[in-house]
Structure 1
Amino acid sequence: MDFVGGLAVVIVAFIGVVAVASVFDVVTVAVVSVVVVVATVVVAVVVVAAVHFGVMLLSSCDSLKKSTTDDWVTEKI
């Protein structure tokens, strides 16, 4: 998730919390706010970790392919 997407999620969540605030009491709103912020952070961390893992996996596959190809070419020469 890029910065703009993350910011959009936080803004939408904040608007949702303000809407809930008009209906429920302050304690409920505080709990919902904390849960929304924690959930946003957890999702962001999971997405970043998944992207990082995917990039590492792809780069290791590319280096594996390259070394195998190099070995094959060296063997043929």
Structure 2
Amino acid sequence: MLNNSDANIATADALTLLLHNQHALAAAIEEVTKWLSENGVGSVADNAVTAMETLDTNARGITDAIMRLRQL
């Protein structure tokens, strides 16, 4: 059984991997958004920008949680 410290490390490691995935998704959405904007599909590009803003907001929350877990 994991002790509290080991559990915190495992949780922080898992959150870090999720955060890396989130950054990769944001980069992909950004590329698609650029293409959409350049090809006259501005309304869809606007929706993609909103999705990226959500990813950014949540990334900050995940980063804060990781930092708190690593300090315990």
Q: TM-score, normalised by structure 1?
A: 0.45
Q: TM-score, normalised by structure 2?
A: 0.47
Greater relative contact order, per chain length (Cα 8 Å cut-off, separation 6+): 2
